[in-house]
Amino acid sequence: MSEQIRVLVVDDSIFMRKFISDMINSQEDMDVIDTAKDGSEAVEKVRKLRPDVITMDVEMPHKNGLEALEEIIKIDECFQVIMLSGLTARGSSITMEALAKGAFDFVQKPSGFNYLRIDKIKDELIEKIRCAMVRKKKLQQEKSGWGTLKKLIEQRTGSGKKVKDKGEIKDLYPQYDKDTSGSFKEFNKEVKIKAVTLGASTGGPKTLYDVITRFPKDMNVPVLVVQHMPTGFTKAFAEKLNSNSMVSVVEAEDGEPINPGKVYIAPGGYHMLVEGERIKLDTSPPIHGVRPAVDKLFISAAETYGENLLCCIFTGMGKDGAAGAKEVKARGGIVLAQDEATSVVYGMPKAAIDTGCVDLVLPDYKIAEEIVRLTLT
């Protein structure tokens, strides 16, 4: 039998605790080691039991999910927390805050009469728990490697100086900051980038937050974004980004003009397309089981901007974005993909890379730098 994923289930509803626990325990590779009825009890049990993954209700009495998350991450950043959020303005806002503060991902809880059909989220929750475990192992490996590298650098400096963070390693030994994903390609600087498209799924909210908040206030091209996310949460996601970015970030509206220096987030439940100089939203059938779909955005943007388009594919399950990347490349655009090391889930980037149409594979933070370099030159 493979190693079991040890899960702590946190929810103030005894009904939800049982349903979620039964779902998880139905999997041979998972085991609910305990449950907690609020954030305070969750923090105590995390300290004692050291679970691999925690499913965390957002709105609870005494200590809510966000407050508990902040304490859990301080105990050990390798703990993986999946937020379970109801579709309320407060719930979606707290969920976006949780993702920015280190939660792995979230799953939307049914509400009202749908509360009795919680099993509909089973496949999504189970898949995200498995992905969270992969992420935990990756973080533990990085943490172990970082500790070894610190000791090596401290020994080689010979001064007894303690290295506190990776920034000091870059100063002492610049070779340790080299990009290992491949050489930087000199793109044709005669071609002016007129638009940027970004696509992401699992692990995407945190990655997109880190990328978009790096954009300078003088960003002179529009940025169109598809993040697989349920209806109701994309608005909170856009608001969170807007409050922490130097550029304007909005949830896109049908017929809205596309303006330079503005970031448009596709609303949950709608495909977002580029039609001339405006945004078009439609409710045509999902692609790859999702709506909005990255492929829809990339293909329509490629038809409009041709060689003047830069598209970037980030972490996520499945292959959404691969067909779009082929279309972008066929029309002369530039395609970047996130590397495996920094991807929470390597599915979408790998599918795009496998098409042979990706120009450059980079860590997420390097993609942010490359977007700025290509759009400001």
Higher pLDDT, 305 or 170: 305
Domain boundary among 87, 112, 135: 135
Task: Clarify whether residues 129 and 217 are in a common domain.
Answer: no
Q: State yes or no: pLDDT of 171 exceeds 50.
A: no
pLDDT of residue 23 exceeding 60, the answer is yes
Out of 135, 157, 178, pick the residue that ends a domain. Answer: 135
Domain count across the chain = 2
Same domain, 206 and 93: no
Query: Cis omega (within 30 of 0) on the bond before 110?
Result: no
Q: What is the pLDDT of residue 334?
A: 96
| Same domain assignment for residues 369 and 273 | yes
**CATH number (domain holding residue 312):** 3.40.50.180
In this predicted model, what pLDDT tens digit does every residue of 49-62 receive, in sequence order? 999 999 999 989 88
pLDDT digits (tens, 9 = 90+) for 306-333: 999 999 999 999 999 999 999 999 999 9
Q: Determine, yes or no, domain membership for 169.
A: no
Q: Are residues 94 and 199 in the same domain?
A: no
Measure Cα distances from 102 to 94, 276, 311 in Å.
12, 38, 26
- DSSP string computed for 301-363: HHHHHGGGEEEEE-S-SS-TTHHHHHHHHHTT-EEEEE-TTT-SS-HHHHHHHHTT--SEEE-
Pairing of strands 248-251, 223-227: unpaired
Catalytic pick from 21, 201, 300, 343?
201
Indicate the residue among 95, 111, 135 that finishes a domain: 135
Could you count the other beta carbons within 10 Å of the beta carbon of residue 21?
18
CA dist 249 and 241 (Å) reads 6
Q: What is the pLDDT of residue 101?
A: 87
Residue whose structure tokens are 């638009």: 195
Residues 124 and 199 in one domain: no
Assign 106 to helix, strand or coil: strand
> Are 127 and 221 in a shared domain?
no
pLDDT band per the 50, 70, 90 thresholds, residue 85: confident
Residue 23 lies in a domain: yes
Asked if residue 183 has pLDDT above 60, the reply is no
Asked if 129 and 240 sit in the same domain, the reply is no
Helices (runs of H) and strands (runs of E) counted in the chain: 12, 14
Q: Residue 317: how many CA atoms within 13 Å on its side-chain side?
A: 16
Domain membership flag for residue 258 = yes
Q: To the nearest whole percent, how much of the chain has pLDDT over 70?
A: 83
DSSP β-bridge partners for residue 55: 9, 82
Lowest mean pLDDT among 32-46, 100-114, 233-247: 100-114
Q: 310 and 239, same structural domain? A: yes
Do 97 and 213 fall within a single domain?
Answer: no
Q: Is 228 a catalytic residue?
A: yes
201 is a catalytic site residue: yes
Residue of 93, 228, 271, 288 with catalytic role: 228
Distances (CA, A) of 211 to 51, 193, 229, 263, 348: 30, 18, 18, 12, 17
Q: Give the pLDDT confidence score for residue 176 in this predicted structure.
A: 35
Which residue among 105, 295, 320, 339 is the active-site one? 320
Q: 366 pLDDT exceeds 70? A: yes
Q: Which of 333, 281, 345, 270 is nearest to 303 (CA)?
A: 333
Quick check: is 163 in a domain?
Answer: no
Asked if 320 is an active-site residue, the reply is yes
Most confident of 83-92, 148-157, 176-185: 83-92
Cα 371 to Cα 197: distance, rounded to the nearest angstrom: 10
199 strand-pairing partners: 226, 313
Residues 342 and 245 in one domain: yes
> Residue 281 domain-assigned?
yes
Residue 211 maps to a domain: yes
What is the spatial distance between Cα 106 and Cα 181, in angstroms, rounded to a whole number? Answer: 29
- Residue 182, pLDDT score: 42
Give domain status of residue 146, yes or no.
no
Query: Within 13 Å, how many C-alpha atoms sit on residue 237's CB side?
Result: 29
Q: Do 355 and 225 reside in the same domain of the chain?
A: yes
Query: For residue 354, is it within any domain?
Result: yes
User: What is the H or E stretch that residue 197 is in?
Assistant: strand 195-200
Mean pLDDT (the chain) is 87
For the residues 172-182, what does the mean pLDDT come to?
39
Q: Which domain holds residue 344?
A: 195-376
Least confident of 67-71, 119-123, 153-157, 188-192: 153-157
How many other CB atoms are there within 10 angstroms of residue 161's CB atom?
Answer: 11
What is the identity of the amino acid at 278? R
Residue 104: which CATH number? 3.40.50.2300
- Positive or negative CA dihedral for 30, 34, 35, 40? negative
In the predicted structure, residue 244 carries a pLDDT above the cut 60? yes
Strands 80-85 and 195-200: unpaired
Gap between the Cα atoms of 377 and 367, Å rounded: 15
Q: What integer is the mean pLDDT of 205-220? A: 94
Tell me the backbone φ, ψ of residue 345, rounded to 5 degrees: -130, 125
How far apart, in whole angstroms, are the C-alpha atoms of residue 321 and residue 201? Answer: 10
Both 16 and 103 in one domain: the answer is: yes
